[in-house]
Structure 1
């Protein structure tokens, strides 16, 4: 029985470390997008055209920065964990699609795909006990 307790503690510590690392990297990418302003938001949001969405590019660009920047913080805290992950996964799907549409192929889209898979796994596993959602 003591083994199960230690394994559970390691799992929760691993989830905390993973949340800090992945959430921190999302913030690293997202905060500059949020701070860049409407012109940058419009350029980023323009990539939605690859999904057939051509309206409100500034809104979509802002949402990409919000999902990464604020969503990354929420992931670290383990607050509104699953909704934040869904926003980030959607943003990564758009990023991967943009890489393919730009002719970058699998090598260009790999980072978005890999990161998206990591968040997809976390969506099902949950934030662990060291999170605001669990308190």
Structure 2
């Protein structure tokens, strides 16, 4: 009886393409809020951090690629795997810029201090490995 119930639940919830869509919406959609913030308020803060590390401040505009363009592509399911890799790379850079000192720390409410960086990095890697799935604006082409 339990096995029959589990088989019915598994059959009912077996929708890989819908799962891929939900993952794309979560990873791309939530990251897009970070990017929109930088579109509205600018990248001056990031530019200052880069210059403090001896790097050219103009590199800060790359964050718009990783936090606006890549998430939009992920959401739409267009160039999904490359866009997800760009997002993952962006999270590595963010960790190197602001997260390395916090890697082994908890925040004020007991969460891992870099959990959002880790979530977006791992989520982006999952999207890169799974691809867009059937629900993609690119349709069934190599562009998804």
**Match in the other structure for 2:87:** 88
CA distance in 2, matches of 1:22, 1:87: 13
Once the two structures are TM-superposed, the CA of residue 41 in structure 1 deviates from its matched residue by 4.5
Are 2:104 and 1:123 aligned?
Answer: no
Unpaired stretches in structure 2, ≥5 consecutive residues: 1-9, 105-111
- Bigger Rg, which one: 2
- 1:14-42 CA deviation, whole Å, 9 max, x = no partner? 11111112111111011111232352341
Query: Normalization by structure 2: what TM-score?
Result: 0.72
Number of residue pairs aligned between Structure 1 and Structure 2: 123
CA RMSD in angstroms, aligned pairs only: 2.6
Which of the residues 97, 102, 105 maps onto 1:104?
102
Whether the 8 Å contact between 1:24 and 1:72 is mirrored in structure 2 is yes
Pick the aligned partner of 1:20 from 9, 12, 25: 25
1:71–1:85: 8 Å Cα contact kept in structure 2?
Answer: yes
| Residue pairs, 1:32-111, within 5 angstroms | 32-37=37-42, 39-43=44-48, 46=50, 49=53, 54-59=54-59, 61-97=60-96, 98-100=98-100, 103-106=101-104, 107-111=112-116
Greater RCO, CA 8 A, separation 6+: 2
Structure with greater helix share of residues = 1
